[in-house]
Chain A
Amino acid sequence: MAAQSAGGGGRPTVRTLATLLGPAYVWLLLTIFLPLSAMLYFSFLSDVPVGAREAELTLENYAAFFERDFYRSLMLRSFQLGAVVTGLCLLIGFPCAYILAKSIKGRAREALFLLVILPFWTNALVRVFSWTMVLRGNGVLERAVNAVFPEVGPLGLMFTYPAIVVGLVHSYLPYMILTCYVSLQAIDDDVIDAARALGAGWGTILRRLVLPLAAPGMIAGAVLIFVPVIGSFMEPRILGGTQGTFIGTVIEDQFTAVFNWPLGAALSFLMLGFVLALFALAAPAFRRLDG
């Protein structure tokens, strides 16, 4: 999403484009777009067209979203969750990436960079279950806090909205650190030194130099976090208790609790539509950030 203006800007030959883009998009066509087109088609049907079921074209599945209030409130809630998690990842992750890229040198930086990525290689479900062990009553965190401050008592963190946010931020924070790091690292230290030598303060350097250059990384990270968080269902289910119902869990149910693929597909495509609309609205801001 980051590459806004073409670097070379030249008119490529069809052959060049086909060589560079062909393999990736043919692959995606076969494994994602064609299967999803089938799903998109299903979303306009009254039933899944396998077997004797009479399936007819209908808008009912899309209408259901507007007829039932709770679908709308859950969709909104999912977008809010996406914003909160993305915002926190940015707030926590950007400074982290900056320190890693600019303040630490040599072997230590390599080691720390690897340390940031490693948790990301553990299984997501194992990670979430580990959080339940940390957060739950009489769990690791409660015991630790009460060992130091005995008067605190039970923390009651498990099965709350914050528990979901903690689990998701933990899962997605490495995305932000990684993408910010990759673009921050491309900024020449000499440029920053020169600006400082010319008397620019930290605030100015950050605002005028670092943030614009790091924007592509921040945007890439935000996209990679915001989009999947909206559709997440596993973390909310396990960590959220009664607070864990979102549009993602509702969609999942259409496939696992009932055989209602058309409704599940319609809700997902609506979700995708809202995401794209949001990005279209934000595009001017992205472009400005991109410089």
Chain B
Amino acid sequence: MGFARQGAAGRAVQAVVMAAGIVLGMAPASAQADEIRVLNWQGYGTDEAWAVEAFTDKTGIGVVHEYFNSEQEMLTKLRTNPGAYDVVLINSAYTRQAAGEGLIQPIDADGMAHVADLAEDLGNHPNLVFDGATYGVAWVWGLTAFAIDTQDFAEAPASIEVLWSPEHAGRVGWRDDSVEAVQMSAIATGQDINDPTDWDAIRDRLRALKPQIRLLWSSENEWNQFLAANEFDLATYWSGSAARSAREFGLPVRFVIPEEGAIGWLDGLSIPAGAANVDGAKAFIDWMIDPAFYVPWDNNVGAPASANAKANAQLPEEAFNRAVMGDAGKLANVQIMGPMDEPLRERILALWQETKAYFQE
């Protein structure tokens, strides 16, 4: 959809907007030839100062960043600012939607030296490659499960049930995110995270969290602070962030992949429709999947696992992303988050909001 595939009224609006933009000389800011504009979460790899510097030294292309705070915001920014960005990070669960709305364009891998090294199951993942075209280059992937404060556990728990265990009542941290909340419950009840059928079981699981949850977190920063303040024994968390909490900040954190499974997510880099500097964007994306970027990123800062098999293989042997994550195929019980239509998202949100209202009763 987007402004390209809408009804007559939409096209009229589009024409007016474009005309007004040209008349006022305020057409959506377009990048110069020697510059690319990147839309991403802040502090998520693409804006590492040393990496941007190395890229600019090599190609002469400057990098300007803009940030978003939620996937919906990212989509809204793409919808309302066509042509303003050259590279966008999209959680692959949203890539089909973005392509369907005409917000991103197919990527031709010609001249991208490192695309051939992508792990087969990630590089060609149906979330990213569909309708005979590649809409996103697999970049990094990771898991959502939970992490423990190693000071509170003699040994790491094996089961996801520990989140519901009375032993840790009032000592659990939980992310305030509807999809994650429902998918964690789907795993606990042995269901497909992308297409759960037994909604009553999920609802019961969520309600059973009432005595367990101490806090609802929404950012990595909060998570680290509350762990440091000993507000919880264990909390839902992301694998890449757990690596960073342990490595960069020296916190007593251990990520647990429960035997019941975990939520997998795959982030891809895409090129928005109407991008002014497609060649620059392709060069930048290729740099992002280059082991020469990824290995120092994971070693020095902490990162999710790379989609580039060669990059992961170059990590130190004890590195979490090599030792535990290995390559995606080995983790049989991991379900990768897939596309979701909006009615389902809305249903999930309503369920989570209702649950939170129940927590307050």
Chain A interface residue number, banded = 20 to 34
Task: Select the stretch in A134-142, A175-183, A221-229 that faces chain B.
Answer: A134-142
Query: Counting CB contacts under 8 A, is A24 at the interface?
Result: no
Whether A50 pairs with B3 at a CB distance below 8 angstroms is yes
A253 CB to nearest B CB, Å: 6
CA A74 to CA B10, docked complex, whole Å = 36
Query: Counting CB contacts under 8 A, is A259 at the interface?
Result: yes
- Most B Cβ at <10 Å: residue of A49, A70, A137, A254: A70
Q: A51-B101, A253-B349 are in contact. Are A158 and B231 (CB under 8 A)?
A: yes
Q: A51-B3, A70-B354, A245-B360 are in contact. Are A258 and B345 (CB under 8 A)?
A: yes
Query: Counting CB contacts under 8 A, is A53 at the interface?
Result: yes
Query: Counting CB contacts under 8 A, is A185 at the interface?
Result: no
Whether A245 pairs with B215 at a CB distance below 8 angstroms is no
Whether B5 pairs with A51 at a CB distance below 8 angstroms is yes
Query: Counting CB contacts under 8 A, is B322 at the interface?
Result: no
Query: Counting CB contacts under 8 A, is A255 at the interface?
Result: yes
Query: Counting CB contacts under 8 A, is B168 at the interface?
Result: no
CA A269 to CA B325, docked complex, whole Å = 48
CA A223 to CA B280, docked complex, whole Å = 52
CA A50 to CA B76, docked complex, whole Å = 10
Count of A-B residue pairs with CB < 8 Å: 99
Query: Counting CB contacts under 8 A, is A217 at the interface?
Result: no
CA A255 to CA B79, docked complex, whole Å = 14
Q: A50-B6, A52-B1, A137-B231 are in contact. Are A70 and B357 (CB under 8 A)?
A: yes
A-side residues, CB < 8 A to B, are 49-53, 68, 70, 73-74, 77, 132, 136-139, 158-159, 237-238, 241-245, 250, 253-260, 263
Whether A53 pairs with B1 at a CB distance below 8 angstroms is yes
What residues of chain A lie closer than 8 Å to B210, measured between beta carbons? 242
Contact of B359 among A136, A245, A259 (CB under 8 A): A245
What residues of chain B lie closer than 8 Å to A53, measured between beta carbons? 1
Task: Select the stretch in B18-26, B65-73, B128-136, B189-197 that faces chain A.
Answer: B65-73
10 pairs across A/B with beta carbons < 8 Å? A51-B2, A51-B3, A136-B229, A139-B229, A159-B215, A241-B215, A242-B360, A256-B73, A257-B72, A258-B72
A43 CB to nearest B CB, Å: 15
Query: Counting CB contacts under 8 A, is B59 at the interface?
Result: no
Q: A50-B1, A257-B345 are in contact. Are A242 and B353 (CB under 8 A)?
A: no
Query: Counting CB contacts under 8 A, is B346 at the interface?
Result: yes
CA A237 to CA B177, docked complex, whole Å = 12
Whether B75 pairs with A259 at a CB distance below 8 angstroms is yes
Whether A257 pairs with B349 at a CB distance below 8 angstroms is yes
Chain A, residue nearest B70 (CB): A256
Whether A136 pairs with B356 at a CB distance below 8 angstroms is no
- Most B Cβ at <10 Å: residue of A50, A238, A254, A257: A257
Which 10 pairs, one residue from A and one from B, show the smallest C-beta to C-beta distance?
A51-B1, A52-B1, A70-B357, A245-B356, A256-B70, A242-B359, A241-B215, A258-B345, A70-B354, A51-B6
Binary contact readout B70-90 vs A (1 if CB under 8 angstroms, 0 otherwise):
101101100100000000000
